[in-house]
Structure formats: structure tokens, C-alpha cells
């Protein structure tokens, strides 16, 4: 486990995934009944962008430090939370900020230091559980939730060569346990062959009602760069496709450099 999110916090990929995450969470608040969130790869919960790891890569400079000035209405809710929580909140902090009184969050994080940071952050919080265990295994072990509705957010580090396949397998296992859950899984776009393999894996599975939202910073020609990223969503909420597309465009407007091939899209991979 070499990956540490502190080096990447607040980069364009975080902005993209977190703006969509907040929109997904808000859709649950349309109904008064409680919901559950499982964050399978939670990270440390929050990051100091002035600290050494973030300063060393400078990734936030072309991410949240630019986007925070956006006045796009599609990003107002997400950026309001970021300003309130401080630069830069991780997914558990954002999720926690959106939960209502009876909603619950369970976070899994395998790195001992990040898991300890999460435990400190939520130590007196009855609505949040922190598990130092594998998020892949939690897709079976912590599902289905008693609330019977909720979001499963899967944000792996993509360190392993077979992580796209692990993602498909994990989504299938999780969905078998929690069929009406909304699943959102982040993935990097370095080369299109890997991404097309991921689409094919999802399409040939038993999963239905799948969309992917993508943001491309440039043409995908250099496999050593993070040229873009995507969020695959199973069982997307009502009208999420249109909302997600406008959010992705607003993020791109804020962080893009107008490179050739830049764009945002929503693709429906499987119907209901
Ligand atoms: C991309 S980061 C997560 C960022 C976080 N979701 C956020 O948005 O703020 C991936 C995290 O997964 C952790 N990790 C790696 N393998 C894991 C596993 N099998 N189960 C749970 N966490 C894991 C890493 O330590 C890292 O903190």
C-alpha cells in the first residue's frame, strides 16, 4: 500500500468526484426516511493543503484552488461545503456534513495512519463507524444496511493492475447484497483501452441501470498522465444524468486548460 491520498487531495479528480458525491447524497434527502452511506476507501477524512505532501505535488493548485472561485450554480452546494469544512475535506467529511440526524455513515480504510485519523475525527460521533478493514470485503460484510436505502461510494487507489476488474467484481458482489442501493465508483482515465475494458466488464455483468459520467482534460494519448476520470453510477437517482453532466461541465470550466480533446460526457452503459 504505497498510495497516500494526502499527495493528491483537492486535485481535479477529487473536485469532480466530490461535486457528484454531494449531488448524489442530496438526492436521498428528498425522502424523510433515513439512509446509509458506505465509503469503502475513505482515506484520512480531511487534508491540509499547506502541509508537505500536498505542497510537494501541487495538484490542488490546478484543482480546488482554481475551482473554489467558480460561481457556477451547479457547484454552489459542493463549494459551500468545502469552504465551510476547510481546504480540503475528504469524502467522509463531506458525507458527514450532509447527513441528517438519523442517517449513518460507515467508512473503511486499510492504511493504519489514515484509519487512525478517521477514528480521531469521528470518535464521539454516534452516526459514523470507522472500520480498519478492506473496503472490498465490506461490500459483502457491511451490506445490506438496516435502512434499506443508501449510497455505496467506491474510490480505490488504482495501484494494482487488475483494479478495474476488482471494481467490477466488487460492484457485482455489493449489488447482490443491496440491489436497490445506489453505487458510485470512481476510476482514472489514463488509457482508453482499460476504460473500454471496464465498460465491457460492467455491460457483461448482471448489473442494470448503469451510467458513467466522465471528465476529460485532454485527448487520451499519454498513458502516464491522469487525462481524465469517471464515476460509474448504478441505480442513479431520478434526473441525475442531466445534473451530473452539468456538474462535470462546470468542473471542467473551472479546472480545464482548454486542451485538445477536453470535454465532459454521460454515457448510459446499461438500461434498467
Ligand atoms: C483514492 S483514496 C480515497 C480518497 C477518499 N475517498 C476521498 O475522496 O477523500 C484511496 C484510499 O484507499 C485506501 N485503501 C487501499 N486499499 C484499501 C482497501 N482494500 N480497503 C480500504 N481502503 C483501502 C488507501 O489507503 C487510500 O486512503
| pTM exceeds 0.85 for this model | yes
- Alpha helices, H only, 29-184: 52-57, 64-67, 76-85, 91-98, 112-121, 135-141, 163-177
Q: Is residue 13 part of a domain?
A: no
Q: For this structure, is 155 an active site residue?
A: yes
Is 197 a domain residue? yes
Return left, alpha or beta for 258; rule: phi > 0 is left, psi -120 to 50 is alpha, else beta.
left
Atom nearest to 90 CA in ligand 1: 9
pLDDT tens digit at each of 272 positions of the chain? 789 999 999 999 999 999 999 999 999 999 999 999 999 999 999 999 999 999 999 999 999 999 999 999 999 999 999 999 999 999 999 999 999 999 999 999 999 999 999 999 999 999 999 999 999 999 999 999 999 999 999 999 999 989 999 999 999 999 999 999 999 999 999 999 999 999 999 999 999 999 999 999 999 999 999 999 999 999 999 999 999 999 999 999 999 999 999 999 999 999 99
pLDDT in tens, 94-111: 999 999 999 999 999 999
Please work out, in degrees rounded to the nearest 5, the angle formed at the alpha carbon of residue 92 by the alpha carbons of 36 and 120: 115
CATH of residue 151's domain is 3.40.50.150
The verdict on residue 60 lying in a domain is: no
- 68 in a structural domain: no
User: Measured between alpha carbons, how far is residue 171 from residues 145, 248, 254 in Å?
Assistant: 16, 23, 31
pLDDT of residue 1: 75
Q: What is the pLDDT of residue 161?
A: 87
Give me the pLDDT at residue 76, please: 98
Q: Is residue 53 included in any domain, yes or no?
A: no
Phi, psi of 116 (to 5 degrees): -65, -40
Residue 220 lies inside a defined structural domain of this protein: yes
Burial (CB count within 10 angstroms: exposed 0-12, middle 13-18, buried 19+), residue 7: middle
Q: Does the beta carbon of 155 lie inside 6 Å of ligand 1?
A: yes
> Ligand 1: distance of its center to the CA of 181 in Å?
21
Q: What is the DSSP letter of 89?
A: B
DSSP symbol at 61:
G
Atom number, ligand 1, closest to the C-alpha of residue 8: 1
- In a domain, residue 69? The reply is no
Of 14, 61, 155, 219, catalytic? 155
Cα separation, 204 vs 200, whole angstroms: 6
pLDDT in tens, 206-250: 999 999 999 999 999 999 999 999 999 999 999 999 999 999 999
Q: How far apart are CA 211 and CA 233, in angstroms?
A: 5
What does DSSP say about strands 128-131 and 210-216: parallel, antiparallel, or unpaired?
A: unpaired
In a domain, 264, yes or no: yes
Give CA–CA dist 7/39, Å, rounded. 20
How many whole angstroms from 112 Cα to the centroid of ligand 1? 11
Q: Kindly give the distance from the C-alpha atom of residue 158 to the centroid of ligand 1, in angstroms, as a whole number.
A: 9
Work out which ligand 1 atom sits closest to the CA atom of 134.
20
- Structurally, the chain folds into a number of domains equal to 1
120: domain range? Answer: 19-42+101-270
Amino acid at each position: 500500500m504505497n498510495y497516500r491520498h494526502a499527495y493528491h487531495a483537492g486535485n481535479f479528480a477529487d473536485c469532480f468526484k466530490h461535486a457528484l458525491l454531494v449531488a448524489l447524497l442530496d438526492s436521498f434527502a428528498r425522502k424523510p426516511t433515513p439512509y446509509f452511506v458506505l465509503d469503502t476507501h475513505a482515506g484520512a477524512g480531511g487534508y491540509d493543503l499547506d502541509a508537505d505532501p500536498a505542497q510537494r505535488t501541487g495538484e490542488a493548485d490546478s484543482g480546488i484552488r482554481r475551482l473554489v472561485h467558480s460561481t457556477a450554480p451547479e457547484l454552489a452546494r459542493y463549494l459551500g461545503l468545502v469552504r465551510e469544512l476547510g481546504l480540503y475535506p475528504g469524502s467522509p467529511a463531506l458525507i458527514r456534513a450532509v447527513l441528517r440526524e438519523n442517517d449513518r455513515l460507515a467508512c473503511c480504510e486499510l492504511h493504519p495512519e489514515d484509519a487512525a485519523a478517521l477514528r480521531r475525527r469521528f470518535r464521539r460521533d454516534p452516526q459514523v463507524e470507522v472500520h480498519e478493514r478492506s473496503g472490498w470485503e465490506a461490500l459483502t460484510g457491511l451490506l445490506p444496511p438496516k435502512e434499506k436505502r443508501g449510497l455505496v461510494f467506491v474510490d480505490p487507489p488504482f495501484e494494482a493492475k487488475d483494479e478495474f476488474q476488482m471494481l467490477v467484481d466488487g460492484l457485482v458482489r455489493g449489488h447482490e447484497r443491496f440491489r436497490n442501493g445506489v453505487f458510485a465508483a470512481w476510476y482514472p482515465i489514463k488509457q482508453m483501452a482499460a476504460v473500454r475494458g471496464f465498460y465491457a466488464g460492467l455491460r457483461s455483468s448482471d448489473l442494470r441501470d448503469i451510467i458513467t459520467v466522465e471528465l476529460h482534460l485532454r485527448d487520451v494519448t499519454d498513458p502516464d498522465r491522469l487525462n481524465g476520470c469517471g464515476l460509474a453510477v448504478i441505480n442513479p437517482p431520478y434526473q441525475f444524468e442531466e445534473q451530473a453532466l452539468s456538474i462535470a461541465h462546470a468542473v471542467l470550466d473551472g479546472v480545464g486548460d482548454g486542451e485538445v480533446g477536453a470535454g465532459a460526457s454521460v454515457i448510459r452503459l446499461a438500461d434498467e
